[in-house]
Amino acid sequence: MNVLSTYLSRFYKFFTGEIFVLPSRTTALLLCLFLLIFPLISPNDFILRVLIIASIYAIFAASWDLLSGFTGQINFGHAIFFGVAAYTAGLLNYNLGLAPWATIPIGALAAVLVGLIIGIPCLRLRGTYLAFATLAFPLILLGIIQAIPNITYGELGIPRVDPLAGSRVATYYIVFPSMIVLGFIMWKIADSKIGLVFHAIREDEVTARASGINTTRYKLLAFCLSGLFAGIAGGLYAHFVNAGPSTLELLLSFQVIIWAVFGGIATIYGPIAGVFILYPLQKIVLTRYLGVPAELTMLIFAFIVLIVLLFMPQGLITWLRDKTEKICPRCKLQNVATRSECRVCTAELD
């Protein structure tokens, strides 16, 4: 009993001290909770489908952020990780009958391998060169997939991949919590020493190297980590939608950057929020709730992205964060913008 109450009070303290002090964290928590109970409120299959795909893409967008947002190694061909994992998972499932719990990790490992393969040569490339070179990888793979249809099933994609779970609601309860957990892990990585080094590489690689950091190793690590998470997303996608050429298309590589930049890069939560705002907006909200004719959604979608970025070039979530929060100059903790002194060290906030 005593133990329980200690835990409860710790729990309570954590919530009041770490979460409820900031509106952003409170909102995030509430939205997570809301989405967790969402199927109980409205178990509409289509809305759940959109939310499941949004969760998968959220993992994917966050993984792009981990690589490109944090280390500044802009990846224009991020779909390669997604597609390789989706195809690996799909083929293993279709040909060997492996279950999703086996195919998804193997698919993710395949994506890590791809991260290594393209990471090593790409280490020599910098900036825009890297961006354009990475663009080529998924497109070349697409050509190969077209060329050997007896193995890859060509443009039709893998005929049948087993679903993740029997029902839509069950699938939702697999994918959505996975997204929360994976997102949290990525956020923790970004917040750790590794994340700090990634930041340093983006800001000034030469200086980072001069400070004794093996930047090559860290950049490779970024490629592999990013591949891992993107791979998990790809594997989930294969088992939910399917594994076909659309998982490697240029459109997807561009789309992931749109989501990430829209939300705000180098935050992890920015891209996740970006997906959860933009994807349902494009798929349901515009047509169903705002009465936009279906053929205009893409145009309006592009306009929204353009306008938002024009006024908030750092991304929507970053902008909101900067408006509502201040960072304490002494202890670097976030504070509500209305406060005049830091909530922990009571230093004066400007």
Partner 1 sequence: MAENIIVYGLVWSGVYALLAIGFSLIFGVARIVNLAHTAFYMLAAYLIFHLNTAAGLNVYLSVFLAIIIVTITGTLSYRLIIARIRQHESTTLIVTIALAVIFQEAVLKGFGGTFVSGPKLISGETGIFGVGVLNQHLLTFGVVLLLLLATWAFLMKTRTGVAIRATAQDREVANLMGINVPGMEMITMAISAALAAIAGALVAPLGVLTPGMWMHPLIMILAVVVLGGLGSLKGSLIGAFILGFSEILVVFLAPSGAFLKTSVALTIMLIVIMIKPEGLFGIVFEEERG
Partner 2 sequence: MKIVSKLAIILLIACLVMMGVSCGDEEEANELKVGVIGPMQFQMGEHHWMGATLAADEINAAGGIQVGEDSYQIKLVQVDSNELVSVPDAASAAEEAISVDNVDVLIGTIRSEAALAVQEVAMDYETIFMVCGSSETAMSEKVAEDYDRYKYWFRITPVNNTALGNLNFLLVGAVAQKIGAELMMAPKLAVFAEKASWTEAIVAAAQAYLPPQGIEVVGVWQPSDKATDVTAELTAIEAAGANMIMTALSGPVGIPYSRAWEELQIPAASVGINVMAQADDFFVNTGGFGNYEMTLNSLARDVALTEKTLPFIEAFIAETGEMPTYNAGTYDALYVLKEAIERADSVDMDDIVVELENTDYNSVAGRIVFDDNHDVTWGPGYVTALGVQWQDGELKGVWPPADGSWNGVAYEGIVDYQLPPWVVEFWTQ
* Contact positions vs partner 2 (CB under 8 A): 20, 23, 26-27, 30-31, 34, 41-42, 44-47, 49-50, 53, 146, 149, 153-157, 159-160, 241-242, 244-246, 251, 283-285, 288-289, 294-295
What six digits make up the tokens of 127? 């900036």
From the list partner 1, partner 2, none, partner contacted by residue 139 (C-beta under 5 to 8 A by kind): partner 1
What is the contact mask toward partner 1 in residues 70 to 99, using x (rule: CB under 8 A)? ----x-------------------------
From the list partner 1, partner 2, none, partner contacted by residue 116 (C-beta under 5 to 8 A by kind): none
What is the contact mask toward partner 1 in residues 184 to 223, using x (rule: CB under 8 A)? --------------------x-x-----------------
| Nearer to partner 2 among residue 24 and residue 216 (C-beta) | 24
From the list partner 1, partner 2, none, partner contacted by residue 121 (C-beta under 5 to 8 A by kind): partner 1
From the list partner 1, partner 2, none, partner contacted by residue 210 (C-beta under 5 to 8 A by kind): none
- For partner 1 (CB under 8 A), the number of binding residues is 47
Question: Pick from 224, 229, 222, 231: which is nearest to 199 by CA?
Answer: 222
Shortest Å, Cβ 265 to partner 1: 6
Q: Which window, 31-39, 41-49, 214-222, 310-318, contacts partner 1 (CB under 8 A)?
A: 310-318
Name every residue whose Cβ is closer than 8 Å to that of residue 61 and which is 6 or more positions away in sequence.
Answer: 256, 259, 260, 263, 271, 272, 274, 275
Rounded Cα distance, 17 and 22, in Å: 9
| Nearer to partner 2 among residue 210 and residue 251 (C-beta) | 251
| Nearer to partner 2 among residue 107 and residue 195 (C-beta) | 107
Rounded Cα distance, 198 and 222, in Å: 8
**98-123: b or e for each residue (b if 16 or more CB lie within 10 Å)?**
bebeebbbbbbbbbbebbeebbeebb
Residues 219-258 that bind partner 1 (CB under 8 A): 250, 254, 257-258
Contact between 132 and partner 1 per CB under 8 A: yes
Looking up tokens 């939560």 gives 269
Phi, psi of 59 (to 5 degrees): -60, -45
- Check residue 332 and report its DSSP letter: -
Residue 235: exposure state from Cβ atoms within 10 A (0-12, 13-18, ≥19): buried
Own/partner contacts of 162-168, CB < 8 Å, gap of 24 or more, are 162/93, 162/99, 162/100, 162/239, 163/239, 163/240, 164/100, 164/236, 164/239, 164/240, 168/43, 168/45, 168/48, 168/49, 168/52
Q: Which residues pair with 335 in a beta bridge?
A: 326
| Nearer to partner 2 among residue 213 and residue 336 (C-beta) | 336
Rounded Cα distance, 107 and 88, in Å: 5
| Nearer to partner 2 among residue 45 and residue 191 (C-beta) | 45
From the list partner 1, partner 2, none, partner contacted by residue 164 (C-beta under 5 to 8 A by kind): none
Question: What amino acid occupies position 127?
Answer: G
Residues 267-306 that bind partner 1 (CB under 8 A): 295-296, 298-299, 301-303, 305-306
Shortest Å, Cβ 178 to partner 1: 27
Task: Find the binder of partner 1 among 51, 80, 135, 197 (CB under 8 A).
Answer: 135
Rounded Cα distance, 37 and 186, in Å: 24
Rounded Cα distance, 257 and 159, in Å: 29
Residues that bind partner 1 (CB under 8 A): 68-69, 74, 121, 124-129, 131-133, 135-137, 139-140, 142-144, 146-147, 204, 206, 250, 254, 257-258, 260-262, 265, 295-296, 298-299, 301-303, 305-306, 309-310, 313-315
